[in-house]
């Protein structure tokens, strides 16, 4: 969904016209933001905030995070409508860095688990900082220093390389998480 939206944003800005004007109005002042500033993610994060706050009108119909189903044509139209109707609300968060939930955060956690005694199944409770990604670490692959890849054969599974320094960590291919819960602190 986000890949589609960002692709459409890029096409519309480049093409100009009415759609491009809507976007350039919302993004005004950020034309020179460098790539690593993640302007696209900040835009999508600001829009998602409005969806979660129930302030995004018809766009919420297309966001899975609130029970919607993504549909590219109608979703893009609703996205543009929101930007046209509430440009200031969207602009509110364009200066804030996005909070991302990325698998890379789990490298340290997995490294810690590799220090444990082997043989027992794991029960994990995450305090919510990685959106549950740490609870999936038994599905991630890794390459021990100077070793061969360890982990799922699924090529789509993330694989950590050069994630740890210091003492060499021994593979634990039979790691098994039997229970995982996320607890969001208030």
Q: What is the mean pLDDT of the chain?
A: 87
Residue 126 within a domain: yes
Note the pLDDT of residue 186: 43
Residue 98 within a domain: no
Helix, coil or strand: residue 178: strand
List, for residues 118-151, the tens digit of each pLDDT value.
Answer: 888 898 887 766 667 788 888 888 887 777 888 8
Q: Which domain holds residue 170?
A: 103-182
Indicate if 76 and 107 belong to the same structural domain.
no
Cβ contacts of 59 within 8 Å, gap of 6 or more:
47, 50, 51, 75, 78, 79, 81, 82
Helix, coil or strand: residue 55: coil
Percent of the chain with pLDDT over 90: 45
Whole-number Å distance between alpha carbons of 111 and 125: 16
The domain tally of the chain equals 2
Minimum mean pLDDT range among 36-40, 98-102, 105-109, 148-152 = 98-102
Q: Is the pLDDT of residue 165 over 90?
A: no
């Amino acid at each position: 969904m986000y890949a589609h939206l960002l692709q459409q944003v890029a096409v519309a800005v480049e093409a100009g016209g009415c759609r491009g004007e809507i976007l350039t109005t919302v993004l005004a002042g950020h034309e020179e933001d460098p790539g690593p500033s993640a302007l696209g993610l900040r835009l999508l994060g600001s829009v998602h905030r409005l969806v979660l706050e129930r302030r995004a009108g018809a766009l919420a119909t297309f966001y899975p995070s609130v029970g919607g189903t993504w549909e590219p044509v109608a979703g893009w139209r609703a996205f543009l409508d929101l930007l046209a109707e509430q440009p200031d609300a969207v602009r509110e968060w364009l200066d804030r860095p996005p909070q991302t939930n990325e698998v890379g955060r789990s490298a340290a956690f997995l490294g810690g688990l590799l220090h444990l005694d082997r043989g027992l199944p794991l029960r994990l409770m995450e305090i919510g900082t990685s959106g549950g990604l740490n609870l999936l670490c038994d599905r991630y692959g890794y390459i021990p220093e100077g070793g061969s890849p360890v982990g799922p054969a699924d090529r789509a599974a993330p694989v950590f390389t050069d994630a740890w320094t210091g003492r060499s960590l021994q593979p634990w291919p039979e790691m098994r998480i039997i229970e995982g819960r996320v607890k969001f602190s208030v």
